[in-house]
Structures are given as C-alpha cells and as structure tokens.
Structure 1
Amino acid sequence: MAKKQSYDNESITMLKGPDKVRKRPGVIFGSDGLDGCAHSVFEIISNSIDEARAGYGSKIVVTRYQDNSIEVEDFGRGCPVDFNKNENRYNWELVYCELYAGGKYNSNDDNYAYSLGLNGLGLCATQFASSYMDVEIIRDGFQYNLHFEKGVNVGGLQKKPTKKKQTGTRTHWLPDLDVFTEIEIPDDYFCDTLRRQAVVNPNLLFLYRKEEADGTFTERQYLYENGIADYVREIAGENTLTSVQNWSCQREGRDREDKPTYKVKLNVALTFSNQVQRLEYYHNSSWLEHGGSPDKAVRQALVSQIDTYLRQNNKYLKSEAKLKFEDVESSLVLISSSFSTETSYENQTKKAITNKFIYEAMTEFLKHQLEIYFIENPDEAEKIAAQVLINKRSRENAEKTRLNLKKKLTGSIDVTNMIPKFVDCRSKDLSRRELYIVEGDSALGSVKMARDAEFQAVIPVRGKILNCLKADYNKIFKNEIITDIVKLLGCGVEVTTKANKDISSFHLEGLRWNKIVICTDADVDGFQIRTLILTMLYRLTPTLIDKGYVYIAESPLFEITTKKRTYFAYTEKEKTEILATLEGEKYTLQRSKGLGENEADMMALTTMNPETRRLIQVTAAGIEETAKMFDILLGDDLQGRKDFIAEYGSEYLELADIS
C-alpha cells in the first residue's frame, strides 16, 4: 500500500530564483527536450536581432562549439549592466537574474518598437537553464564581464576601461543537461534559423561558425539585400507563372475598443507557380510556424478576391462549386513579414500570433492589392485564374475517385457484390476463419476440394500480381486482384502519403479472418508470386503482419514413395534425412508436383489440415531488413540490385531455373 502523504498548510511551496526555469523549462521554452533547448538559443539571438532592427549593428556572429556550447556576438550598443538608480539595483541583476525585467515594455520607445523579445523572459531564462554562461559587454568605454554557473552569478560584475571603439555584447554558454534532456542541437537548426532571420531582416549579415573535430571553424554567411522578395525569387526559381509582387503598408488600430492603439507594418511578397508551393509567415522577425492571424488573413483575402475575379469573368462552369484555399495554395509562393508594437503570441515560443487587428488589416490590405494587381496585370490574372481552376478541378476529381475507391475497398461482400472465383467458407466465427490466397485457377480447384469448407475460404491470384513496392497508389488500386483481396480482408488499407490519405481507412476490428495463408508452388515462380503477395500486404496492411495474421503454407519439395508409404520432404536436408532411413529399400524420388496437379487427399495432408500442415507465421521481426531486401530485389534501385546479384548471386545458383 502506498504511503499516504499529508496535504496541509506547509505542503504549499514556491519555486524561487533559477528553479523557476530549471525545474519547469517547458513553461518557458515549450519543452525540456531538444526543441526547448533550441528555443533557448533563439532567445539570445533574438536580442541581438532587436538591437540591429533598432539601427545598432549590421552583423551577428553565431558560433557552435564541439562541446555543444554556443556563442552569440552582436555589434549593438551593449546591454546596460551598471547601477540602476530607479530600481536601486544593478541592471545586470535585472536582465540576467530576474524574469520579466527588460527594456522593451514601452511600446512608444522607438528603439524597440517592433521587438522580437517582449516579455523580459528569454535572456534570464536561458541563463537560468545554462550549465555556465559568460558575458562580455563593450559600452561607454568599458569592458564588462559576468560569469554564471547553473543560474547563479559567480564573482559579480567585472569592469575595466577599454580602448575598443566597437560596442556590442558577446554571450557564450552551455545548455545544461540537468535542465534539458538533450543539448546537441543539429547543425541544420542554426542554418535554417539564421537563413530565415536574414530573409526578414534585409541587409543584416548573419555569420554562422561551426567548430569542426580538428578545432578549425567552417563559416556560412546569410544575407538578403531585398529581404522577402529575394527569398520568393530563390524559392520559385525562373519558371514562374507570374512576376514577383512585393507589397508593403503601415496601419494603426486596436484589437478591442477598450484596448490601446498600436502600429502595424505589413510586408508581403508572392508569385504563382505550377512547380513550387510555399507559405511562410514571420512576425517581428520570428517565424510563425503555426501562422495564426497572418495565415487566416492570407486564406480569406486570396480566396475572396480570386473567387470574385472568377465570377466576374465567368470562369466557373454552370453550378460549379466555389474554390477552396488549397486550390490557390497549390500554386502559391508567399512570404509574409509583419511587425507590430503590440503582439499577442499564443505562448512564449512565438509560433503563432492572435492579434485581431493584424488579421483585419492584412485581409483588407491584401484584397485591395490583389484587386489592383489583377486590373493592372490582366495577362497574369488570366494565368492565375486558369491555374487555380486546374488545381480545383483536379482536386475535385481526385476526391471523387478516392471516395469511390474507399467505398470499393470497404464494400460489403454479398450476393450482388461477389468477387470472381472467390470461394467462401460457412463459419462466421472469426476465431476460426482462414483465407487461402492461392496461385492460379488450377491450384484453386485442388485447394477447394482439399479444404475444410466449414472454416477455409479460397481466392486465386488471377495472373501476375503487381509489384506494390514500385507502383504508386493510383496504379495499385486499379489492379482488380489487389482491390478484391483488400475487400475480402475487410479491414481497409494503411496509406501514409498526404496525396492519398483520404483512402486510408484501416480498422483491425473489420478483419474477417483469423489467418491469411499464402499458398504457392515450391518453385521459382511460386516464390516470386509469394513475395509479391507479401509485398502487397506489407505495403497496404503492415499491421496484419505485425499482429501475426499472415502465414505461408509450406509445400513439399519432394515426394519419396516406397511400397509402404509416401514421405514428403520440405527441404533438401529433410530429403537427405529421409533417404538415410530408407537404406536398402526401393523408392522413387520426384520433385513435388504443382498445387494444381496434386490429389485432394495429398493437398489436405500437406497444406490444409491444421493437424498435419506446416504454416510459417510471417512476423514483424527483422521488418526493416525485410523491407530493405524487398527494395533491393523489387524496388527502383537497379544498380543496387545489380550489385547485390554480383556479390551474392552465386549462393543461389542451385535455386535458379536455368536450363
């Protein structure tokens, strides 16, 4: 029995100092994993970006060291750290050791009017979450140094005169493994983050330095002179449907009547393409991974204005449904970079904003700009309309096809919906029912006579089944034998690709069988058909393999007949062992006949009767290796297949059907 814990007045406690972050990093950084650690890095970078946006410094240097420590250096004014008479404390204590302390709360302060860091949390929180942090600041003719260990200052503020003219702040720290579960931030994060920041901060140079294993440093530079317009050109390439448009404006408004008025800057660059699609939103330099207000505005404005154009110019067919945003999005490259003096983020990670006025202002602004653009560029408006309608009608046709296919794959089996040559069993007890998938019509006859009709059903593979590893889903589901087998299984299919997700309807409880048994000849052709059927099940219903519903019926390789009895050998080794026991006896040895040539009694004995048959259960063990082998032997890697055969082919010569 668990020990009872008291819950009284002394049970309530409060986290103090660094523990506010160290014990609950997810509250500030979104998680205590690698994502949270990466966000703590961005908090430091964002302070340097704010300085540059305020007009101080045109370069930021980020260095990643081999020991996973990080250094960020800017060339701004340098963080104020000396004594603050108003607060009666040192500024370094406020900035580095107090949450909700900073210089960006006054939205009328032009220095940080459009700031990334609003809450006074990031710098202090990152310091609290560090194993150590070293800070060097140059300002007012002095060099200031601070050292922290696990959120606690060691040694106070060190101050000395300096002759350096260049001001700025350099911060070097190691994220703490006592706080984060992982601190090895991948190289891609730094490259992607700095590239994005270069995009939305025109003419601000980001230098990324990475320490290699030998102690040397590799460097990458990120600079976009024309900001998001250059970025759109980079994404879309030269073969676009329309020219790149770059629209900007400034607005003032409020989110609610009783809320203060604030300023907004909107900057949108876009083009249309039938080859590339991309939407990215930024606010106050922060990438809005989940969008929020700007994304809602783009969706509303573009659908509304393009729909208006289509209706006014009679582009819709009679009774045709209105377009959806996905029809526009499929051919749209759009980058939005907005700024505001008041920002409502969903949370501290700043991945979405919720400002009502930004949504309203951006919607109105985009509608107006699109209306003018269509009037002034009629040829481009025609191209956009034509492409959007192609996207729309293709989507509608695909949806119709997918719905019909989904209905086809999950349709019920009844008298009016029978599958050709499928022979059902009588039992409705799912714990007994077995489905034999056999090789061809001739095998169907033998298996049909040898089976126990009470619980064993049979379907033949009519012709060569499609290689499902190489084919796309559209081709797979045009193959009748595949759709028939899927329909018989009753559990639907598992499809993971975005384009075909609508037909993914797998539900294990719909499975109509306790065993799915693959039954083919014990020769090269039989092995190939077996492999193709397994490939189909692995591609479309992997859970059936994972849960142990799929079996292979072993067919004997040899028949050894004496006067007294007939022996069946399933392997070369078994043949040798049987022959050894028949020393001195007369016998005949022959390779086993194909399934279609076997007598019903022999089929029942070797393949169908649960008491005497041999079944191999196909398991998920080694599934990755199996998938790799399937890919080598049946996939698109022709050179890989040639290399495999060249290296290992000799080991299988005796199995090859070569005369």
Structure 2
Amino acid sequence: MAKKQDYGNDSISMLKGADRVRKRPAVIFGSDGLDGCEHSIFEVISNSIDEAREGYGNKIVITHYRNNEIEVEDFGRGCPVDYNNNEKRYNWELVYCELYAGGKYDTAAESYEYSLGLNGLGLCSTQYSSEFMDVEVIRDGFRYNLHFEKGNNVGGLKKEPCKKKQTGTKTRWRPDLEVFTDINVSDEFFCDILKRQAIVNPNILFVFRSENEAGGFNEQEFFYESGITEYVQEIAGEGALSSIQHWTAEKKGRDRDDKPEYKVKLDVALTFSNKTKLTEYYHNSSFLEHGGSPAEAVKRAFQAQIDSYIKSINGYQKNESKITYADVEECLILVSSSFSTQTSYANQTKKAITNKFIREAMTEFLRHQLEVYFIENPDEAQKIAEQVLINKRSRENAEKVRLNVKKKLTGTIDLSNMVEKFVDCRTKDVSRREIYIVEGDSALGSVKLARNAEFQAIIPVRGKILNCLKAEYSKIFKSEIITDLIKVLGCGVEVTTKANKELSNFDINNFRWSKIVICTDADVDGFQIRTLILTMLYRLTPTLIEQGYVYIAESPLFEINTKEKTYFAYTEQEKQRILEIIGDKKHTIQRSKGLGENEPDMMSLTTMNPDTRRLIKVTAEDISESAEIFEMLLGDDLQGRKDYISEYGADYLELADIS
C-alpha cells in the first residue's frame, strides 16, 4: 500500500493564473455544470449592458452558433485594452487576465455608477474558462484584436488604424468542456435572459441570432420601451383588479454606521389580479432568482400595510386571524428593478442581495406609497382588500381539508382504527411485506387460506371502485373503498393540480409494503375492477407505479387436467401449446373459476407462491394506455366508443355474456 505523504510545510500550494478558475469554476460561477456555463456567458453580456445603460450604444447583438460558440457585440465606447500608465501594464492584461481588476471600483467616479459587474471577475473568469476567446475592440481610431486559448494569450495585442466611426466591443468564444461538464446551452436560456434584460433596461434593443441547420440565422428581438410597467401590463392582460402603479425614488444611506454612504434607485411597477400572480426582483439589471433584500421589503411592506387597511375598514370577522404575505402574493403582480452604487451580493452568481439599507429604505418607501395609493383610490383599495381576504379564507379552509384528509388517509392501523376486512401479515420488515388487493369477500376467503401469513396481507375491494380518472378530489375522498386502500398503503396521496395541491401529503418513507399485487378474476368484470384500481393508483400515488411497486397477479384462464398432472393456461395460445404436449392423453378442460371458487392449493400455486406465481410489473406507460381505453369505453366520448366497438367488437364475442 502506498505510504501517505506527510502534511508538512511543503504541502501547501496555491492555484495560479487561469487555474484559479479552470480547476475551481464552481467558486466563481456557482457550478461546474450547465448553469455555471450559462453564468459565465452572462458575465460577458452584462458588461455590454453596463455600457448601454451609461448611454453608449442602444443595441446589443448576441449570436449562438451550432458548435456552441457564442458572440456578443455591443456598440459602446469599446473596452480599453491599450497601455495603462497608472498600472504600468496593458489594460487587456488587467481586464482579461487578472481577477479583481476593472473600471467599476471607484465609487466616486461617475462612470458605471449603477453597474451589473462590480467584482472585476466577469471577463477574466469567462476568458479563463474558455477553449478560446477572440476579442475585437474599435475605439480611439484603432482596431484592436486579442486571441486567447485555454486561459492564455496567444500573439499579444494587435493594433491597426481604423476609420470606422462606430465604436464597440465584439467577443467570440467557446466554453471549455475541460472546465464545464456541459456546454450545450439552449436557445431558451438566451431568450429568457435577454427578455429579462430588455424589461429592466428600457429602450435598449437586444437581438438574438441562433444558427440553424441550413447555416443561416433565426433572429429574435427583445425591446421594452417603458420597461417594467410595460411588462406588468403584459402579464396582467385585461381585467386586472386595479390600475398599474409605477413608483420610483432615490435614497442615500448606509448598511452600518461605520460603512460609507451609497445611493439607491428604486423602481417598482405593480397591479393586483385574481387571475394570475408574479413577483420578480432585479438589481443592477441582474435577475435576483432568490430575491434577498427587495423580496423581504415587499413582504414586510405589503403584509403590514394591507393588514392595517383591512383593520381600518373593519374587514376582519370576529376573532379572525390576520392575513399573511402569502395571501397578498396570491393576487399580486409586481416587478422591482433597483440600482445601487454599492451592492452586497449573496455570492458571485448574483441571485440575491443582502444590503440592509436597501431592505429598510424599500420597506419604508413601499409602505408610504401603498398608504397614499389606498387613500387616493378607495374603490381599488376595497377590491384589493376583499381579494386578499378571499385568498386568506380559501387558504385556511384548504389547510383544514388537507389536515382532515391526511388524518383520514394516514391513520395508524390498530384495533381502534381498523380498516374493515383488512388482513395484515406478521412481519414488520417492509422489504418483505406484500399487500394483495382482491376482488370481493369470496376471493378474500380463498386468498386468505392460500397466502403465506408471514409476509402477505389482504384487503378486499367491495363492489366497483370509483373512476378516479377525472373525478373531483372531494368526491374521491368521500369513497370509503378508496380511503381504506390509501390508509392501508400508508404513504398518503400526491395531488398535482394547482387548485388542490394543499391535499398532497405523499411520503414514500411511510409506504408499508414492498409490493402491491392486484388480484382479480380473469373476466370482463375482473378486468374492469383491475383497471379502476390501477387508475386510482395512477391518479393518487403515481410514484408507486413509477418506482415499480405495483403488480398484477395473472389468473389462469384454463385448468387442464390429466391423470398425472394439472396444467394451467393463462392465454388461449398457452392452452393450445399444452394440448400439443398432452397429445392423445385423456384430459378435461375447464375454464378457470372465479378467485372465490378456487381451492387454496391452486390459489397458492398460481397466484400467491413467489416461486410459481406470475406477476406483471405495471409501468406508467401501461396504466396511461389503460386509462385512455377505460375513459373511451366508460367516459363521455359516445362516438369514440361506437367506433371502437365497430372496429374491435368481434375480438371479444367469446367473452360477451349473450343469452
């Protein structure tokens, strides 16, 4: 075995140059996966946005090539790349080859007062993480060109006179698969971020070009003349509860008494709606996926001010609890775009900010604006308050229903809470326990005698179960058969619809079984009951099907007896093969009886014994197809049913009960 190295003074090392990013991309970009690669792309785009925000160029062109190369072209002043007398180095070295170098650190300077990129990491870190990067800059009457490969400059700075009046910076590069695990960035990513940037940067045109298979380019433009106000109107559509409000302000303050003062610009557009909801936060043009200070400010201001207004009009019922922010958010459409000369991001990925002053200033600002708005618009204030109260009472009622359903469906199986006719097994080892769902009380008797009581439990389905395919949840949970089955399973239910998601209480860790085995007669009624049970599981507990816990016990169609042996045939084709094997031997053929009429030995052999039974594992595709056929046969599609019977009815004549 290799001897471990000593941990001594010479064991400490440091990453240098491009390796600081190439070997630890997640430190800079938050991930070494696709989302980290996407963040590296936005770092370049954000520099062009900063130029345009300062009034230099009103158009940015982003091109996505099919070979995963990206090009960003702006029409600003052009990135300074020539010699820097203060630093005694070329600016291109500082911008593209040094972390924490840039033109946005001097808070006293007017340039880039409100900027996306303040950390001096973006261009350099993206260059370091690229397979190659080509930069073309036009400024000061010159064209400058740079070429980088895997974090290293090749060929130095090339400079030549240029008579072109239009200045700007063009950057083309390909993210490196040696750095990121995935560089296949989708066009949807570009469209999403460019739309967001157009929203918070009014009057800047973003052009996205995507190379197609023919070698040409598909082009989309993103442009919002009035920014967030126009976007809120787009989201709200027609029929909003209130008019669109657009509030702006500038503040100065400190995060702490001993910290320097900085400036904040607040820009908020909002309306209320009973049809849709949306809250989005941006800071220095960067989308704050996790919010931070602005989200906390909105939460505090809106909850407090609307609660205060409801109290002022005596809107609460006697002993009624206060509204929460969740009740407000349910009908709120709000977009916030703030800017500050100093920003504390939660990390380099800029998905949340933590500035204390921004939170406090924005909270006070929003509370004041809401108070004035409600005074000046009493009719709208009344409608907003009523909708928030509706949301609150609906939430509380849904929570009561959810708790009642959870209690009903996940109650402990004991003598005081016994499901009728449920027969448990002895073992508590979930990896061995099997639950047989059988058809009727007669089948319960024969299966009970044939089972291995150590690990096989039984619950009978009494009568035909409700079709859960499209039934309302309220009706489903009134069915005693269904609630008994779910209670025995123990894992609760999955509710995916938005209107009833409060009822969802599914927890796979509470599932009490290793197998669910559906055991019904091999006739038309048995098939129908089986399909209804499967449909119930598909609607209420799809994870059990997806993870392979659900099985169908095959019942033989025919029992073929000879003097020496009894054969079981599960299909017509199997019956013919067995008859060929038997040949001229004397035999009898009997269509298999219902489960309740079978002898325990036969039931054990064909249905219960793990060594001899036949189980079919149910897949999501199986049940989806079955559910569609079931809906066609028993649902509202009369013409579809007629067409199906006309085409396939002859195949089932043998099974039909025709006298």
Q: Is the 8 A contact 2:559 2:569 kept in 1?
A: yes
Residue 618 of structure 1 is matched in structure 2 by 617
The 1:590–1:322 alpha-carbon spacing in structure 2 relative to 1, beyond 3 Å, is same
The 1:413–1:169 alpha-carbon spacing in structure 2 relative to 1, beyond 3 Å, is same
Q: Which moved more, 1:487-496 or 1:253-262?
A: 487-496
Instruction: Please state how far the C-alpha of 1:257 moved relative to its aligned partner.
Output: 0.4
Instruction: Please state how far the C-alpha of 1:145 moved relative to its aligned partner.
Output: 1.3
Give SS of 1:112's match: coil
Q: Is the 8 A contact 2:307 2:323 kept in 1?
A: yes
Q: Which moved more, 1:489-498 or 1:399-408?
A: 489-498
Q: Is the 8 A contact 1:54 1:110 kept in 2?
A: no
Distance in structure 2 (CA, Å) of the matches to 1:162 and 1:454: 88
Residue 423 of structure 2 is matched in structure 1 by 424
Aligned length: 651
Q: Note if 1:633 corresponds to 2:632.
A: no
Give SS of 2:352's match: coil
TM-superposition CA deviations, 1:196-245 (whole Å, max 9, x none): 00000111111111111211112111111111000000111112111111
Distance in structure 2 (CA, Å) of the matches to 1:252 and 1:576: 90
Residue 137 of structure 1 is matched in structure 2 by 137
Distance in structure 2 (CA, Å) of the matches to 1:354 and 1:655: 73
Instruction: Please state how far the C-alpha of 1:522 moved relative to its aligned partner.
Output: 0.6
Q: Note if 1:504 corresponds to 2:505.
A: yes
Instruction: Please state how far the C-alpha of 1:99 moved relative to its aligned partner.
Output: 0.9
Q: Is the 8 A contact 1:447 1:600 kept in 2?
A: no
Q: Tell me, which stretches of 5 or more residues in structure 1 are unaligned?
A: none
Instruction: Please state how far the C-alpha of 1:609 moved relative to its aligned partner.
Output: 5.7
Q: Is the 8 A contact 2:535 2:627 kept in 1?
A: no
Q: Which moved more, 1:222-231 or 1:123-132?
A: 123-132
Aligned 1:115-514 pairs, distance under 5 A: 115-420=115-420, 422-425=421-424, 427=426, 430=429, 434-448=434-448, 457-471=457-471, 473-494=473-494, 500=501, 503-508=504-509, 511=512, 513=513
Distance in structure 2 (CA, Å) of the matches to 1:518 and 1:129: 55
Q: Which moved more, 1:492-501 or 1:312-321?
A: 492-501
Q: Is the 8 A contact 1:439 1:520 kept in 2?
A: yes
TM-superposition CA deviations, 1:309-359 (whole Å, max 9, x none): 111111111111111111111111100000000100001110000000000
Q: Is the 8 A contact 2:554 2:616 kept in 1?
A: no
Distance in structure 1 (CA, Å) of the matches to 2:582 and 2:185: 69
Instruction: Please state how far the C-alpha of 1:531 moved relative to its aligned partner.
Output: 3.1
Instruction: Please state how far the C-alpha of 1:83 moved relative to its aligned partner.
Output: 1.2
1:413 is matched by which residue type in structure 2?
Answer: I
The 1:103–1:381 alpha-carbon spacing in structure 2 relative to 1, beyond 3 Å, is same
Distance in structure 1 (CA, Å) of the matches to 2:148 and 2:608: 76
Q: RMSD across aligned C-alpha pairs, in angstroms? A: 3.0
2:501 is matched by which residue type in structure 1?
Answer: N
Q: Which moved more, 1:73-82 or 1:582-591?
A: 582-591
Distance in structure 2 (CA, Å) of the matches to 1:589 and 1:614: 21
Instruction: Please state how far the C-alpha of 1:558 moved relative to its aligned partner.
Output: 1.5
TM-superposition CA deviations, 1:361-394 (whole Å, max 9, x none): 1000000000011111111111111111111111
Q: Tell me, which stretches of 5 or more residues in structure 2 are unaligned?
A: none
Distance in structure 2 (CA, Å) of the matches to 1:580 and 1:467: 42
Distance in structure 1 (CA, Å) of the matches to 2:113 and 2:462: 72
Q: Is the 8 A contact 1:470 1:634 kept in 2?
A: no
Distance in structure 2 (CA, Å) of the matches to 1:27 and 1:428: 50
Distance in structure 2 (CA, Å) of the matches to 1:463 and 1:242: 53
Q: Which moved more, 1:333-342 or 1:529-538?
A: 529-538
1:24 is matched by which residue type in structure 2?
Answer: R
Give SS of 1:110's match: coil
Distance in structure 1 (CA, Å) of the matches to 2:645 and 2:109: 72
Instruction: Please state how far the C-alpha of 1:532 moved relative to its aligned partner.
Output: 3.0
Residue 61 of structure 1 is matched in structure 2 by 61
Q: Is the 8 A contact 1:28 1:125 kept in 2?
A: yes
Residue 651 of structure 2 is matched in structure 1 by 653
The 1:624–1:150 alpha-carbon spacing in structure 2 relative to 1, beyond 3 Å, is farther
Instruction: Please state how far the C-alpha of 1:585 moved relative to its aligned partner.
Output: 5.0
Aligned 1:464-613 pairs, distance under 5 A: 464-471=464-471, 473-494=473-494, 500=501, 503-508=504-509, 511=512, 513=513, 515-541=515-541, 544=544, 550-561=550-561, 567-580=567-580, 582-584=582-584, 586-596=586-596, 598-601=597-600, 604-606=603-605, 610=609
Q: Is the 8 A contact 1:447 1:603 kept in 2?
A: no
Instruction: Please state how far the C-alpha of 1:181 moved relative to its aligned partner.
Output: 1.3
Give SS of 2:111's match: helix
Instruction: Please state how far the C-alpha of 1:581 moved relative to its aligned partner.
Output: 5.0
Distance in structure 2 (CA, Å) of the matches to 1:251 and 1:642: 66
TM-superposition CA deviations, 1:464-512 (whole Å, max 9, x none): 223445456555433321210111123434556675366424244651x
The 1:635–1:53 alpha-carbon spacing in structure 2 relative to 1, beyond 3 Å, is farther
Q: Which moved more, 1:423-432 or 1:270-279?
A: 423-432
TM-superposition CA deviations, 1:419-462 (whole Å, max 9, x none): 23x14257355577653311134434544566566765432212
Distance in structure 2 (CA, Å) of the matches to 1:566 and 1:418: 40
Instruction: Please state how far the C-alpha of 1:605 moved relative to its aligned partner.
Output: 5.0
Instruction: Please state how far the C-alpha of 1:584 moved relative to its aligned partner.
Output: 4.4
Give SS of 2:291's match: coil
1:327 is matched by which residue type in structure 2?
Answer: D
TM-superposition CA deviations, 1:31-64 (whole Å, max 9, x none): 1111111111111111111111111111111111
Q: Is the 8 A contact 2:398 2:503 kept in 1?
A: no
Give SS of 2:369's match: helix
Give SS of 2:353's match: coil
1:424 is matched by which residue type in structure 2?
Answer: V
Give SS of 1:28's match: helix
Give SS of 1:315's match: coil
TM-score by length of 1: 0.91
Q: Is the 8 A contact 2:194 2:222 kept in 1?
A: yes
Distance in structure 1 (CA, Å) of the matches to 2:636 and 2:284: 50
Residue 14 of structure 1 is matched in structure 2 by 14
Distance in structure 1 (CA, Å) of the matches to 2:456 and 2:211: 66
Instruction: Please state how far the C-alpha of 1:633 moved relative to its aligned partner.
Output: 3.3
Instruction: Please state how far the C-alpha of 1:634 moved relative to its aligned partner.
Output: 4.9
2:117 is matched by which residue type in structure 1?
Answer: G
Give SS of 1:55's match: coil
1:28 is matched by which residue type in structure 2?
Answer: I
Distance in structure 2 (CA, Å) of the matches to 1:205 and 1:611: 68
Distance in structure 1 (CA, Å) of the matches to 2:332 and 2:346: 26
Residue 52 of structure 1 is matched in structure 2 by 52
Q: State percent identity of aligned pairs.
A: 65
